[in-house]
Amino acid sequence: MPTNRQLRLQARPKGLCAPGDFQLAETPVPELQDGQALAKVKYLSIDPTMRVWMAVDSYLPAVAIGEVMRAGGLAEIVESRHALFKKGDKIVGLTGLQEYVVIEGQSKLPFQKVPSIPFVSDTLFLGVLGMTGLTAYFGMTEIAKPEKGETLVVSAAAGATGSIAGQIGKINGCRVVGIAGSDDKCRWLTEDLGFDAAINYKHPDWKEKLAAATPQGIDIDFENVGGEIMHAVLDRMNLHGRVALCGLISGYTSENPALENFATIIVKRLRVQGFLVIDYSARFMDAATQLGKWKMFGKIKDRETMLEGLEKVPEAINMLFAGANTGKLIVKVA
Ligand SMILES: NC(=O)c1ccc[n+]([C@@H]2O[C@H](COP(=O)([O-])OP(=O)(O)OC[C@H]3O[C@@H](n4cnc5c(N)ncnc54)[C@H](OP(=O)(O)O)[C@@H]3O)[C@@H](O)[C@H]2O)c1
């Protein structure tokens, strides 16, 4: 039997991930029992929420010290004694940071089979057609509910979720303004993805540029970041604006609260709604079909940032907080 290399959580991080936070372990792949399938992990999805899972209980319990680190991934069944999966099937789900995963029964967040479609790369099922694309889809269609002519601002706009959310705003006829951390990212947003404007928040005059790019104020904030960026956006919101609170990444590695000025929410009579993509799991297939059509007809474009090797995962997680990814961040395992 092959050996399974795993990254196990060794310590809870302070700030960014440090080399000692993970331990690389090798363990034999177990003999399969009836009702089990063995899948070889091909790609791992690198998500900001992993940093939360390492540290605290949230919508899922924190990963226990010594446990294989939780992570989403795409894997291929290499052996099966499971009724639902056969050899060669590709699946997505919580594979964990490891080279092989044994699947048994059905968990609360079950593995889903993904179709093999000519010219469609497997990694699309971690990005546009995966958790981040679905987050953008449900955040926009169920929470933000954009209407033609409205102004939508998206933070972390050149990331996996923000880039798709902004494009869904364009499909719905909004004026879309992205906020991102480099001039290259801003050019990608306006020149390739069709955003109306993009603001590099690392420029000293970015707040003036945000004001100039939103002359009619802001109707919808698709919020991925929190902190100073969210405060600046809320300051420009129109009365009765909506905030789709998707994430607060600026707070995940720091002690500072991601939202301090609650008074703006009262003064502007804003409707702020947090959401979790997993609450919409029963509708993932329909949403992925719609996202796939948009992708096929060129209405949605995407990018991936790819690293190779399981041992690169800690570095990859830190890349999310340094803005070193454009689009979906993935680690290729095999
Ligand atoms: N609610 C849900 O169900 C759900 C599901 C998935 C993701 N999310 C949330 O959605 C957000 C985006 O996740 P993603 O997976 O798509 O990651 P991503 O946007 O691809 O990557 C994170 C990006 O955030 C930006 N960023 C990091 N730290 C920042 C800071 N302090 N200030 C400003 N920008 C910062 C960086 O881009 P720059 O170069 O622009 O700084 C970075 O590239 C996260 O908040 C995540 O927690 C929520």
| Nearest atom (ligand 1) to Cα of 132 | 6
Percent of the chain with pLDDT over 70: 99
How close is the Cα of 11 to the center of ligand 1, in Å? Answer: 23
Q: Whose CA is nearest to atom 42 of ligand 1?
A: 323
Burial zone of 180 (CB within 10 Å; 0-12 exposed, 13-18 middle, 19+ buried)? buried
Would you state the pLDDT for residue 186? Answer: 98
How large is the average pLDDT for residues 148-153?
A: 98
Ligand 1 site, residue 180, Cβ cutoff 6 A = yes
Ligand 1 site, residue 160, Cβ cutoff 6 A = yes
Provide the whole-model pTM.
0.97
What is the β-pairing status of strands 72-80 and 100-104?
A: unpaired
What digits encode the pLDDT tens for the residues 102-143?
Answer: 998 765 568 999 988 888 899 999 999 999 999 999 999 999
How large is the average pLDDT for residues 244-261?
A: 88
DSSP string, 249-289: GGGTTSSS-S---THHHHHTT-EEEE--GGGGGGGHHHHHH
| Nearest atom (ligand 1) to Cα of 202 | 41
Ligand 1 site, residue 161, Cβ cutoff 6 A = yes
CA 37 centroid distance within chain:
27
In sequence order, what are the residues at sequence separation of 6 or more whose Cβ sits closer than 8 angstroms to the Cβ of residue 29? 1, 2, 3, 4, 38, 100, 102
Residue 189 DSSP one-character state:
I
How large is the average pLDDT for residues 81-110?
A: 89
Q: Is residue 329 pLDDT above 60, yes or no? A: yes
Would you state the pLDDT for residue 25? Answer: 98
In sequence order, what are the residues at sequence separation of 6 or more whose Cβ sits closer than 8 angstroms to the Cβ of residue 111? 39, 85, 91, 92, 93, 94, 103
Q: Is residue 11 pLDDT above 60, yes or no? A: yes
Would you state the pLDDT for residue 107? Answer: 59
Give the end-to-end CA distance of the chain in Å, rounded to a whole number. Answer: 17
| Nearest atom (ligand 1) to Cα of 328 | 20
Would you state the pLDDT for residue 1? Answer: 74
Greatest pairwise CA separation for the chain in angstroms:
64
Would you state the pLDDT for residue 91? Answer: 96
Q: Is residue 206 pLDDT above 70, yes or no? A: yes
Percent of the chain with pLDDT over 90: 90
How close is the Cα of 186 to the center of ligand 1, in Å? Answer: 15
How close is the Cα of 73 to the center of ligand 1, in Å? Answer: 18
Residue 70 DSSP one-character state:
P
- Rounded to whole angstroms, the Cα distance separating 174 from 172 reads 6
What digits encode the pLDDT tens for the residues 269-310?
Answer: 999 999 999 999 999 999 999 999 999 999 999 999 999 999
Ligand 1 site, residue 317, Cβ cutoff 6 A = no
How close is the Cα of 282 to the center of ligand 1, in Å? Answer: 24
Would you state the pLDDT for residue 105? Answer: 76
Task: Name the pLDDT band for 187 (thresholds 50, 70, 90).
Answer: very high
How close is the Cα of 275 to the center of ligand 1, in Å? Answer: 15
Ligand 1 site, residue 275, Cβ cutoff 6 A = yes
Mean pLDDT, the chain, rounded, equals 95
Q: Is residue 328 pLDDT above 60, yes or no? A: yes
- Rounded to whole angstroms, the Cα distance separating 156 from 162 reads 6
